[in-house]
Amino acid sequence: MTALALPPTGLRFENIDKRYGGLFALRRVSLEISPGECVVLAGRNGSGKTTLLRIASRIVSPTAGKLSFPGAVNDSAAGRPGYVAHTTMVYDELTAEENLVLFAKLQDVPEPAARAEELLREVGLFERRDSAVRTFSRGMRQRIAIARALIHRPSVLLFDEPATGLDPLGISWLAKTLGEVNRAGCTVVMSLHGESEISALATRAVQLDAGAVVADTKTGASLHSILSFGGA
Amino acid sequence: MTKRILLGVVAIALVIVAAYANFFVAPTERTMGVIQRIFYFHAATAWAGEMVFFVCFVANLLYVWKREQKYDWLGVTCAEVGIACITVVLITGPIWAHPVWGIWWTWDARLTSTFVLWLLYVSYLLLRTLIEEPGRRALLSALFGIFAFLDVPLVFFSIRWWRTQHPAPVIMGGQGSGLDPTMSKVFFFNVLVMHIFCVFLIVERYILEKLRHDVDLLQREAEVQ
Amino acid sequence: MALFSNTATLLGKELRTEFRSRELLTTTSVFILIVLVLFSFATNPGTEEAREFAPGLLWLAILFASSLMFQSCFLREQANDTLSSLRLAVSDPFAIFLAKLIANTLFLLLTEALMLPFFAIFYNITVWSQLPILSLVLLLGSFGIAIAGTAISAISAQARMRELLLPLLLLPLLTPVLVVSATVTGSLLDRDPVIQWKGIAFLGVFDMIFLTALWIFGQYFLEE
């Protein structure tokens, strides 16, 4: 993986609330993630992991509280987190290359075509660069989504349940890729169920339940218990 | 509570007084006869309705800016009260027009743009029923409400300049310009009364909306447990 | 400026996506054609009265077609949640709207261009001589329709019953465009053509007001 263009960045959640009508998806969540950490968010379905990641990605705004990125160069494209979710967030009708060039251009990435090609090679989709994303398998869709998230060389990568729907080969590849990204200096935050090759990369784990932080390896909880409780 | 009851009593009493004035105080109009008396009520309700929609517009803007629920409640309240007023206007209009001019409807600027106004705010209410999540519902309907209100003067002028029937049966213009002094007084009294009555309706409907919200909140919390 | 470069990039994407499949253009064109034919069954084409109604019917057909055309505008961004990735990538969310409304205007103009010959034939009206001014009226009217349509499509995409809701919200909003465009087109295509500059200016004002409103409030339509 190519090295980062910018200094490492952390994430700071201060008393984040997210309400939908009367329901709290997140309650007074405060979390400080240091630059370069690889954090796993664990918890049952509905515990607030996806909401927290969407807030971190800035797609969703919190009802209350503050989100900041210590170390980031304000508001430039590279200061924005990369975000991978359940869908590819690219256009099915366009080719892999067209999609990446589009997102590169929008984020003012220098030499968008060259950067797109570079990423396609890194995720192993160069041969399929002229195929419409519509024709991709689940594993390939995962890879184009990652390429899109990394196109602007973000210093924070957010990943919502990366292993869903992947076969063991896919999971190995993903673990290898995420490891490389993290070693290159990118802060990684991902939500997971249960233990796997991917959770093994974690330097820290945080457990959410009913929208609140209930355990954190930073304050002494064990990685294993956080991950198994979340999976069960 | 007592203030509410007082407002209600005063509002209804004033409406009765206004009705009396319309029928017994105002002189009979020379050409149109008794049916003309409906004009006081019709035009006053139209003015009150337009004022109510303006308040709705302001509530919509305030919601988008401040995101406080009370502005959403005020918005839907004013939309409903406004629609009630306009419905009355659209019904009394033909009732007046038919005996006088022999037609049920005329495509004059005021009446037509009133009808489009009615359609716009009915759509506003419909939009609200089709969005479940309260925050989205409030925001999206406020945005539509803003666009709808911006449209209203455009609708009015487009019809006035390009669609008004020739010769146009003058619904308001002729009357307004040469009103007999007693008629004027009755008319403006009606305007005042209808505004007060609308305030009463708005207060009651707003409280109802707030209660509805509180009940909804309690229900959701009960479900979670 | 970032807004314009983002808009240009997104406009390229909108056009490329549409011209690859051409579904929107073909279905909209056929729909306008069907509506024009149905109108001629409902009225008595070829008579003098029909000539008077024809411009109004043309604009009515355009309005109905647009309420179909704008359905997919924001819905197609929901399939893979590309709306979120766009929002993350652009510096000004208005670029998303601007690109879509320019694309929608172009698509409307294209379908109108395809339909104009049929309209002229069905109703026995010569449009050729008035083409420059007619194009201006079509441009301003279609632009207004596209602005309102794009805004409303962003709203209806987030509600239930969106296929019915979109026309319900859009059509009352567009009554000024219908009234003025139909009148101006009518007097333009009359036996003694008259150019109603006041009407053309009015359409311009309508477009400016709604474009400004969308510019101010656009970001809120896309919030989550």
Instruction: Count up the domains in chain C and report the number.
Output: 1
For residue A24, the chain B residue with the least C-alpha distance is: B221
Contacts of B41 (CB under 8 A, 6+ apart): B18, B19, B22, B88, B92, B190, B194
Q: Answer yes or no: do A22 and B135 touch at CB < 8 A.
A: no
Chosen for mutation from B147, B150, B166 (greatest number of chain C CBs closer than 10 Å) is B147
Chains touching chain A at 3 or more Cβ pairs under 8 angstroms?
A: B, C
CB pairs under 8 A between A and B: 16
pLDDT at B153: 92
For residue C157, the chain B residue with the least C-alpha distance is: B131
Amino acid, single-letter form, for residue C148: A
Per-residue pLDDT reduced to its tens digit, C46-70: 777 777 888 998 999 999 999 999 9
Chosen for mutation from C11, C80, C85, C86 (greatest number of chain A CBs closer than 10 Å) is C85
Count the alpha carbons within 13 Å of A12 in the hemisphere toward its beta carbon.
8
Instruction: Count up the domains in chain B and report the number.
Output: 1
Alpha helices in chain C (DSSP H): 2-21, 23-42, 48-69, 71-75, 82-89, 94-122, 131-156, 162-173, 175-188, 197-221
Give the ipTM.
0.92
Q: Answer yes or no: do B220 and A19 touch at CB < 8 A.
A: no
Chains touching chain B at 3 or more Cβ pairs under 8 angstroms?
A: A, C
Total-model pTM = 0.90
Bridge partner list, A20? A23
Q: CA angle, corner C59, sides to B159 and C99, nearest 5?
A: 100
**Out of A19, A20, A22, closest to residue B221 by CB:** A22
Q: For residue C117, is the peptide bond before it cis, meaning its omega torsion is within 30 degrees of 0?
A: no
C-alpha to C-alpha distances, B121 to A68, B86, B118, B137, nearest whole angstrom: 41, 10, 5, 15
Residues in chain A closer than 8 A to B216 (CB atoms) = 21-22
pLDDT at B179: 65
Top pLDDT among A134 and C36 is at A134
At which residue do the structure tokens 């296929």 appear? C163
C-alpha to C-alpha distances, C51 to B25, C58, C121, C187, nearest whole angstrom: 53, 11, 11, 11
Residues in chain C, total: 224
- The shortest C-alpha distance from C113 to chain B (Å) reads 26
pLDDT at C99: 97
What tokens were used for B33? 């006869």
pLDDT at A133: 94
Q: Which residues of chain A are under the pLDDT cut of 50?
A: 230-232
CB pairs under 8 A between A and C: 59
- The shortest C-alpha distance from A23 to chain B (Å) reads 7
pLDDT at B137: 94
What tokens were used for C90? 């652009």
- DSSP per position, B86-133: HHHHHHHHHHHHHHHHS-S----HHHHHHHHHHHHHHHHHHHHHT--S
Q: Are strands A187-192 and A64-68 parallel, antiparallel or unpaired?
A: unpaired
Per-residue pLDDT reduced to its tens digit, C168-189: 999 999 999 999 999 999 999 8
Assess C219–A contact: CB distance below 8 Å, yes or no.
Answer: no
Residues in chain A closer than 8 A to C94 (CB atoms) = none
pLDDT tens per residue across all 225 residues of chain B: 788 888 899 999 998 888 888 888 777 777 777 777 788 888 889 889 999 999 999 999 999 999 999 999 999 999 999 999 999 999 888 888 788 778 888 777 778 888 999 999 999 999 999 998 889 999 999 999 999 999 999 998 998 888 765 444 444 444 445 567 777 888 888 899 999 999 999 999 999 999 998 998 888 778 776
Q: Answer yes or no: do C169 and B157 touch at CB < 8 A.
A: no
Contacts of A4 (CB under 8 A, 6+ apart): A78, A153, A155, A184, A185, A186
Asked if B59 contacts B74 with a C-beta cutoff of 8 angstroms, the reply is yes
Span A1-81+155-232: which CATH code?
A: 3.40.50.300
Burial class (CB in 10 A: 0-12, 13-18, 19+), C32: buried
Amino acid, single-letter form, for residue A193: H
- Domain interval for residue C147: 2-221
Residues in chain C closer than 8 A to B120 (CB atoms) = 172-173
Assess A22–B contact: CB distance below 8 Å, yes or no.
Answer: yes
Q: Give the whole-angstrom CA distance, residue A26 versus residue A62.
A: 9
Top pLDDT among C132 and A22 is at C132
pLDDT at B165: 57
Torsion angle of the four alpha carbons B202, B206, B209, B213, in this order, in degrees rounded to the nearest 10: 170
Quick one: how far is CA A49 from the chain centroid? 12
Asked if C43 contacts C91 with a C-beta cutoff of 8 angstroms, the reply is no
Residues in chain B closer than 8 A to C206 (CB atoms) = 154
**Out of B133, B216, B217, closest to residue A20 by CB:** B133
Question: Could you state, in order of their start, the residue ranges of all structural domains in chain A?
Answer: 1-81+155-232, 91-153
Rg of chain B in Å (alpha carbons): 20
- The shortest C-alpha distance from C171 to chain A (Å) reads 30
Q: Answer yes or no: do C210 and B158 touch at CB < 8 A.
A: no
- Domain interval for residue B105: 2-224
Asked if B209 contacts A10 with a C-beta cutoff of 8 angstroms, the reply is no
Q: Give the whole-angstrom CA distance, residue C131 versus residue C108.
A: 17
3-state secondary structure of B200: helix
pLDDT at B111: 82
Chosen for mutation from A57, A89, A146 (greatest number of chain C CBs closer than 10 Å) is A89
3-state secondary structure of B89: helix
